[in-house]
Amino acid sequence: MPEVPGRPDFDLLYFGKDDAESDVSGAGLLRAGFMRTAAYNMVMQGRKQLLIGRKGAGKSAICMMLADDAAKHASIVTPDEISADEIRQFELQGLTRQMSKQLIWRYVLAVQIAKLVLHHARTAHGKTPAAVCQLRKFLLENGELNDDPRWHERFWKTIQQLRSSLSLEAFGIKANLELGKGSAPSEGIRVSQQLDVVEDWLDRAIHDLDCPAGHGPLLVLVDQIEKVWSNDVNSDDMVVGLLTASKHVSSRFRNVRCVVCIRSDIYDALQFPERDKFRGDEMRIEWSAAALADMLMVRAEAAVGSTGANIRLFGDYFVKTVDERPTATYLIERTLMRPRDLIQFANLCRDTTAKNGRKYVTAQDIVEAERQYSVWKVQDLANEYLINYPFLADLFVLFQNSGYVVDRDAFDQLLSTLASTLRSRHPRFAEVFTPHGVTSVLYGIGFLGVRRGDAFEYVHDNNLPLDGTEHQFCVHPCFRQALHTVTATGVAAYRPLSTRSSYALGHTPSSWLGPREVFMRGDEPFLLYDAVDEAGERAARVFRDAPVAPEFRAELLGSVSAMLADTRERRRASRSVESAIEQTRWVSQFFVRLANDLASIHKLTGIADRIGRIGLGLDELALGLPRYDPRPSELS
């Protein structure tokens, strides 16, 4: 047995933390292993201000690296869960819900910009203009001043501040009545006027600083909106308020950028009149297989301290292929094309290898790690969309212990057994529980692929919605192990006869043996083996011509290939007639079992009949029935 390779620095191999907040710390690899992608560059250049992507796609990583690269010129705003209900329910008399929530965000963003202005004036300018001093006094009077420009108060305190009225004495306004010039404005108008005053002075302070171009922009980044979103009208109003506020401050203040990072499922569900005004700001995070492979390599290099030609991740640390697929391809195919998935899978492979006492990741380690990884991904997908689709765990049951290629009619029948239960459990989503509704949801979250042409496409391949005419679906590879849907067809694969101890070589039941002289051709008892070979080729032709999914066809052809390889090995190993009869009847049983399984799959009855006849023909030949003349020319 060849010696398994290994690297002395294998213990250093690591791909980073699961989340950007942890990965930026001392034990993480975000800084050393970060890839400055097109999305990062577009935002850094100020060309895009709305960063959209799925959970785990790298929004927070980009956000943190933008802040890191901008040094003290950046502030990250993340709403806190304990303020979620306060934000969603916040309303002001005289204003719409969206406008009320926009005022929250305008104030939060203005305060963060003011802190950045103060810090920048102190560290980059020798003289502090009067307007900046008055801005500092305003922050102090309203409890917003602290030494770290990146820190912000909890949102419930901000809401309290707006409701109780801001102190504007720093700007020479001693009473709120001065804003209304003796009138009695509504609560909403009062807050709006106060914010106008704050923004006017903030604009004056920025103007008076008169920063040269080399100072760069002040950057406010908003992330993790999902913490305060609950898929209801108030939550949607809160997000729309943020978007309009961010656009407002970016256009209102010179040399200031406000970037919003938002999950794609939240953004895509929003409906508001001015959505078309944000198209030019949108930047969707999309990863190609090549980019993900590069990311893994960069992180490995950062971890072990080698670069370029000094490291071959797949070869020096990982086996080059798994199941005849390049290892990088095998790993990436089991992700939803997100960095977090790949980091988790690669780390788990490395940890599994270490547990098994090796310093080189073998195919066996990867397959073992995949079982745990798949369980994680099923759980993570349900949790990721718990607010949007709380019924996902119930739907996943439909795909357990079956083939991962799913026919539309078969799925409709499966869903019909569960639909009424789902409607009673989740009445809010009752209209979703139709075949088209459910497949659209499962396709949209990446659980199912849809057959288009000769291949299955997933939502990350081509973000086209389903139109209801699709007839075949496929469970994504990363969920198959957890659901025990590890075969495309759900039919039994070929197993070598040697795996059945009761039918071990040389112990064929006498009832199986026909008149032996029928099988003799000279001194060679190989006519049966020839028949099995030809039967296998006939079955392969049936499957190649069958109108089935490529994965389905490949699996059936693979099973036939395994049968032929096993038969040829038996032929080399033994010249006995008993062995030939035993193998022929074993293959006959395989074809009959396969035909029965295929017959249970919708629209495959014709294929099942043809395969069944091949199996019965072999059985007749093995029994040596007199009416059967075993000439090779008649076995085609």
Is 435 exposed, middle or buried, given 0-12, 13-18 or 19+ CB atoms closer than 10 A? middle
Residue 389: its pLDDT value, please?
Answer: 96
Which of 474, 455, 492 shows the shortest CA–CA distance to 404? 474
Residue 346: its pLDDT value, please?
Answer: 98
Written as one letter, the residue type at 54 is R
Residue 625: its pLDDT value, please?
Answer: 42
Q: Are 555 and 488 in contact (CB under 8 A)?
A: yes
State whether residue 327 is helix, strand or coil. Answer: helix
Residue 151: its pLDDT value, please?
Answer: 61
pTM: 0.83
Residue 72: its pLDDT value, please?
Answer: 66
User: What counts of helices (H) and strands (E) characterise the chain?
Assistant: 25, 11
Q: Does domain 288-384 have CATH number 1.10.8?
A: yes
Low-confidence ranges of the chain (pLDDT < 70): 1-6, 71-72, 147-153, 175-184, 307-310, 500-525, 602, 624-636
Residue 581: its pLDDT value, please?
Answer: 86
State whether residue 325 is helix, strand or coil. Answer: strand
Beta-carbon contacts of 596 under 8 Å, excluding residues fewer than 6 positions away, are: 608, 612
Residue 60: its pLDDT value, please?
Answer: 93
